[in-house]
Structure 1
Amino acid sequence: MPLIDLNCRHAKPKEKAYRIFDTNGLYLSVMPSGTKVWRYKYRFLGKEKLLTIGHYPAISLVLARQKRDVAKELIAGGIDPAADKQDQKNAVKHKAEQTFEVVATEWHTHFEDTWEPRYAKHITQRLKMNAYPFIGSIPIAELTAHQLLTCLQRIEGRGRSDLAKRMLSLIGQVLRYAVITGRTDRDVSVFLKGALKKYKKGHHAAINSDQLPDFLRTLEKNERRLYPQTIYAIRLMLLTFVRTNELIGAKWEEFNFEKAIWIVPAERMKMRIEHIVPLSKQVIAILNELKNLYGGNGFILPSIVNPNKHISNNTILKGLDALGYHKIMTGHGFRALAMSTIKEKLHYRHEVVDRQLAHLPKSKIDQAYDRAQFLPQRVKMMQKWADFIDNM
């Protein structure tokens, strides 16, 4: 005899659990605690099985019958309703576990072997600092454009509109990977086009040739008592005008004192092309001082904390700040200073200085056909540049 809701509502708990049956295998199990649970008994592939439908009264009698009928349709279609329910439950759990951080970590691991180690580490640091604290725990399928915008606006609030745009691009790559791997069906980063503040890309702070004498006097006095590594690093930046990472990562094995050249390996260059730096007498003198201080093995500018590592990429910038050149001069600024001064004061052609700066020709056609290195001119130029600085 079919149940009515009154039967369900008035079913009282007993010392042992008992069942009150509806029709076609549906029954209500009444537990000693008073809990009432709908279950459906059925046969699948010759075996008796049980499907838990849900608790009464959250699941009403009418709804329980509807769920039983759905289960019967699945059985008719060759699907075990209990297994199907478990599959759905597992899918929901898996979806909840696929947070932005989990997927981003997988994305990073997937592509890591195609990146330079330094770049891979840089990406990890950016995600840890700018994304994970705010959207890392959100299931990636549930991430909204508004949540992503809020995350990026925090970065803008630090005055880093440039970084916010880079993070939008980076997060977009993670989201597209999530779409391809079936963790989400959309890349919400595309909705943020035009939502971030525009920023004007500025130049690195740099002094000009007229300010150079005062800078040299300040460096010589070293009233802030900077560590020797910092002073030597700044002097080498001035004389060689390489990029900061190229200098701080330099090892003794890269230097040929007989030929007076420093060959920076391709893997440490921005353009991934081996770079030759002619060494002036002044640079060789500094290198000899460094060798006397720290030995001729490993890095030429070892860290004070750990001699097996090089100084950090902030050492030069912080040193310049301590000397009173905060926002006036940067490590990269030595490149701008050299480019402008060598052209104006020493009258070298732009192409010669440009090759010494390890710049590639701007167009792909020029990159393919213009392979001139101007090495003889660069050798003379680097010595004249060092002499020019000495004469100041």
Structure 2
Amino acid sequence: MKQRLVPTQVKNAKPADKQYKLTDGGGMYLLVRPDGAKYWRYDYRFQGRRKTLALGVFPEVTLAAARQSRNEARDLLVRGQDPAEERRAQKSAPDGSDSFEAVAREWFARQEHGWASNHSTKIIRRLERDIFPWIGDRRIGDIRAPEVLRALRRIEQRGAIETAHRAKQNCGQVFRYAIATGRADRDPSADLRGALPPSIPKSFASVKDPAAVGALLRAIDGYEGSFITRCALQLAPMLFVRPGELRHAQWPDFDLDGAEWRIPAERMKSRQPHIVPLAAQALTVLQELQPLTQRGRYLFPGVRSASRPMSENTVNAALRRMGYSSQEMTGHGFRSMASTLLNEQGWNRDAIERQLAHAERDSVRAAYNYAEYLVERRKMMQAWADYLDSLKRGADVVPIRGSSAS
């Protein structure tokens, strides 16, 4: 089939006294009205009758998108289905329970109880912003791979390649749920393998040079913003938990006498409980913070409401205020700082990984071994805090070596 139109022709088409057509081939054309409106149309024959299908309005629907809709309509004709009747049937569905959005929200409601709150929030926002506007009202069993790809391309075009891949993964989960519940026959997202550019993993910016770490710690101690934020900044390098775990920290989970913080499974990315031994220096920060916030639930309550934790941007914003760009240091970067330096110092790699709460591949083993290496981890966390103190003083010190280095 010869495609005669090019995008510039469509864009530059001027209105005339009477409406006219610009033919693209294969039954599709652009109808240009005297008022300047431009409508995509597709003429076809079904059971001997000539019919016309509206494909959208330019520029909301591009030439490429109109062609894709035309091709999908042709596919329906090959299968003996009338594209216009299929569209009417979709619009007249009684309750929309088979639409992509309805199925996706049902899937999400069944899954979110097993996710950390910040993870579930990201998933539903991603679907609402990037997927529902384009295929949300489509009957899920009728959606084809090109439709999903068009939605993903919009994400790709704004440079969010990793988000596009994650959205594709979420779509696949929704389609597989639809198959399991009898509302779809297959997962069209599986046909998109290789259709998106590869996502290049980005490491979180982090300060790792010991002298630079010392300078960062001194800057944190001199932070002139909120006292609560300064406490969070002081604990971040000592505890090196994930930023979400730190800002959601709750007083009932802390045993200051026993010098440990036990994070429940529902607030961990791995969905397993986690123990954070508290060095003497961490206890000092917590004891200073305690009178200010212990009446509430959170160690670091939000500015507008004590019933919610501090914003996810608070620590990063404080780092920017201190002069560290997003390419130099992030809240998540305290984890890679600790991992790099502790490994260099010879601490047991398994103990470091357990303290970082990296997901255990064997979920059964993980459920019973969250306290693994705890004796060594207590020693490591105190030695780490002592080492940070030495760097903060600017001392030229040899760090305490871990047991695996001896």
Asked if these proteins are the same fold (TM beyond 0.5), I'd say yes
The letter for the 2-side match of 1:272 is R
Match in the other structure for 1:145: 145
Contact 1:252 1:296 (8 Å CA) reproduced: no
1:1-392 alignment to 2 at 5 Å? 93-94=92-93, 97=96, 98-112=98-112, 115=115, 119-208=119-208, 209-222=210-223, 225-325=224-324, 326-345=326-345, 347-360=346-359, 373-392=372-391
Contact 2:274 2:371 (8 Å CA) reproduced: no
| Aligned CA distance change for structure 1 residues 371 and 289 (closer, same or farther; 3 Å) | closer
Contact 1:361 1:370 (8 Å CA) reproduced: no
Contact 1:95 1:139 (8 Å CA) reproduced: no
3-state SS of paired residue (1:263): strand
Q: Using the aligned pairs only, state the percent identity.
A: 36
3-state SS of paired residue (2:261): strand
| Aligned CA distance change for structure 1 residues 117 and 253 (closer, same or farther; 3 Å) | same
Question: What is the TM-score with the length of structure 2 in the denominator?
Answer: 0.66
Count matched residues.
303
**Bigger shift: 115-124 or 276-285?**
115-124
Q: Distance in 2 between matches of 1:110 and 1:376?
A: 39
The letter for the 1-side match of 2:261 is W
RMSD: 3.0
The letter for the 1-side match of 2:219 is T
Q: Distance in 2 between matches of 1:277 and 1:367?
A: 16
Q: Distance in 1 between matches of 2:179 and 2:203?
A: 37
Higher-Rg member (1/2): 1
3-state SS of paired residue (1:305): coil
| Aligned CA distance change for structure 1 residues 288 and 91 (closer, same or farther; 3 Å) | closer
**Bigger shift: 106-115 or 285-294?**
106-115
Contact 1:241 1:338 (8 Å CA) reproduced: yes
Q: Distance in 1 between matches of 2:332 and 2:270?
A: 16
1:304 CA displacement: 1.1
**Bigger shift: 114-123 or 366-375?**
366-375
Higher RCO structure (Cα 8 Å, ≥6 apart): 2
Q: Distance in 2 between matches of 1:388 and 1:374?
A: 20
3-state SS of paired residue (2:304): coil
Contact 1:261 1:278 (8 Å CA) reproduced: yes
Contact 2:277 2:378 (8 Å CA) reproduced: yes
Q: Distance in 1 between matches of 2:128 and 2:359?
A: 33
| Aligned CA distance change for structure 1 residues 285 and 372 (closer, same or farther; 3 Å) | closer
Contact 2:274 2:370 (8 Å CA) reproduced: no
Contact 1:95 1:183 (8 Å CA) reproduced: no
**Bigger shift: 323-332 or 161-170?**
323-332
Q: Distance in 2 between matches of 1:352 and 1:142?
A: 50
Contact 2:116 2:268 (8 Å CA) reproduced: no
| Aligned CA distance change for structure 1 residues 227 and 130 (closer, same or farther; 3 Å) | farther
| Aligned CA distance change for structure 1 residues 266 and 173 (closer, same or farther; 3 Å) | closer
3-state SS of paired residue (1:301): coil
| Aligned CA distance change for structure 1 residues 293 and 368 (closer, same or farther; 3 Å) | closer
Q: Distance in 2 between matches of 1:280 and 1:155?
A: 44
Contact 1:260 1:279 (8 Å CA) reproduced: yes
Match in the other structure for 2:15: none
Q: Distance in 2 between matches of 1:180 and 1:378?
A: 44
The letter for the 2-side match of 1:212 is V
Q: Residue by residue, what CA displacement relative to the aligned partner does 1:269-315 show, whole Å, maximum 9, x if unpaired?
A: 22232222111121111111211222344111111110111112222
